[in-house]
């Protein structure tokens, strides 16, 4: 069985790491390069950086930050935020990123996934899906969770896979920042319907939640932010706990 991955996520706003609850109430969480270096040393399997204030003007600044991150860590990392075309992706990969995540632009133009997969390979393309339950249906949202779309989680995830996405990063907006646990039923359904890896995001608050994501939720990886940023759980302790509970992890 492949090792399950632990992935700290760093939301970047104006060059700083920030974290909110349910996509709002943002607060500062530290320097992204310092945090990335710490997580790499602690044994994180990958990192995800999301530029939550991405604009055309700031993208060049962000590419400079990516170069600095690449110089300071030796594990794979994914970059997302404001990616609309292959022209946006190339500088980030050249700066040292291993993958890119695409969300709003893919919902707006699903063919964008085909374009990126063809240009850079499926292994570079992560389809990030933010969704919340609306009348018992998981509705996909865009623009940092602000705008509901006409897409439903499971059908959209399958379309992303068919268009060439190499992974699905599913964030439950209802669970994000609440520390109440991941959306296990939705994760398990994604696992059943897809053949590509699924990354669980939104709701991690204690070590048990990661165990549940890998067992009940059948996730391939689990992503978290605030519990790592504010020292509530350390990656070595988490991995030791998971290993004791028969979850294959890289230690």
| Residue-wise pLDDT tens digits, 105-136 | 999 999 999 999 999 999 999 999 999 999 99
Which position has the higher pLDDT, 98 or 63? 98
Structural domain contains residue 136: yes
Q: What is the pLDDT of residue 15?
A: 74
Structural domain contains residue 237: yes
> Taking Cα atoms as reference points, which of 48, 45, 41, 42 lies closest to residue 12?
48
Structural domain contains residue 91: yes
Let me know: does 35 contact 41? Beta carbons within 8 Å: no
Q: Look at 45-54, 149-158, 179-188, 197-206 and tell me which has the smallest mean pLDDT.
A: 45-54
Token pair belonging to 117: 């997969």
Structural domain contains residue 249: no
> Taking Cα atoms as reference points, which of 190, 53, 76, 193 lies closest to residue 129?
190
Confidence of residue 23 (pLDDT cuts 50, 70, 90): very low
The CATH number for 160's domain is 3.20.20.70
> Taking Cα atoms as reference points, which of 219, 223, 151 lies closest to residue 191?
219
Taking each continuous run of H as one helix and of E as one strand, the counts in the chain are 10, 12
3-state SS, residue 1: coil
C-beta contacts of 198-201 below 8 A and 24+ residues apart: 198/167, 198/168, 198/170, 199/5, 199/7, 199/126, 199/167, 199/168, 199/169, 199/170, 199/223, 200/170, 201/9, 201/169, 201/170, 201/171, 201/172, 201/176
Residue 21 has pLDDT above 60, yes or no: no
Q: What is the pLDDT of residue 22?
A: 47
Q: What is the pLDDT of residue 157?
A: 98
Q: What is the pLDDT of residue 54?
A: 62
Active-site residues: which are they? 11, 130
Structural domain contains residue 218: yes
Q: What is the pLDDT of residue 230?
A: 83
Domain span holding position 154: 5-244
Structural domain contains residue 191: yes
Distance CA(232)–CA(209), nearest Å, equals: 13
Distance CA(235)–CA(212), nearest Å, equals: 16
Structural domain contains residue 116: yes
Percent of the chain residues topping a pLDDT of 70: 92
- Taking only the tens place, the pLDDT of each residue in 161-217 is 999 999 999 999 999 878 999 999 999 999 999 999 999 999 999 999 999 999 999
CA distances from 167 to 13, 86, 95, 146, 226 (A): 25, 18, 21, 23, 23
Q: What is the pLDDT of residue 168?
A: 98
Tally of domains in the chain: 1
Structural domain contains residue 250: no
Mean pLDDT of the chain: 91
Token pair belonging to 34: 């310092």
**Which residues fall within 8 angstroms of residue 14, CB to CB, at 6 or more apart?**
53
Distance CA(5)–CA(27), nearest Å, equals: 26
Distance CA(29)–CA(224), nearest Å, equals: 13
Q: What is the pLDDT of residue 102?
A: 95
């Amino acid at each position: 069985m492949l090792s399950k991955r632990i992935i700290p996520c760093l939301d970047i706003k104006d060059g700083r790491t920030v974290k909110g609850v349910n996509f709002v109430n943002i607060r500062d969480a530290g320097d992204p390069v310092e945090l990335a270096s710490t997580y790499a040393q602690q044994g994180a399997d990958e990192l995800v950086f999301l530029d939550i204030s991405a604009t055309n003007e700031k993208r060049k600044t962000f590419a400079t930050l990516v170069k600095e991150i690449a110089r300071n860590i030796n594990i794979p990392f994914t970059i997302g935020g404001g990616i609309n075309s292959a022209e946006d992706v190339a500088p980030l990969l050249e700066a040292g990123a291993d993958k890119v995540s695409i969300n709003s632009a893919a919902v707006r133009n699903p063919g964008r996934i085909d374009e990126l997969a063809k240009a850079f390979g499926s292994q570079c393309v992560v389809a990030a899906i933010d969704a919340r339950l609306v009348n018992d249906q998981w509705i996909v949202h865009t623009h940092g969770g602000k705008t509901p779309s006409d897409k439903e989680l499971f059908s959209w995830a399958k379309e992303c896979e068919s268009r060439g996405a190499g992974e699905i990063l599913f964030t439950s907006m209802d669970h994000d920042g609440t520390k109440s646990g991941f959306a296990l039923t939705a994760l398990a359904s994604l696992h059943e319907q897809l053949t590509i890896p699924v990354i669980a995001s939104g709701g991690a608050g204690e070590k048990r939640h990661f165990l549940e994501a890998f067992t009940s939720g059948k996730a391939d990886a689990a992503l978290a932010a605030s519990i790592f940023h504010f020292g509530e759980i350390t990656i070595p302790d988490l991995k030791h706990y998971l290993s004791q509970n028969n979850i294959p992890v890289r230690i």
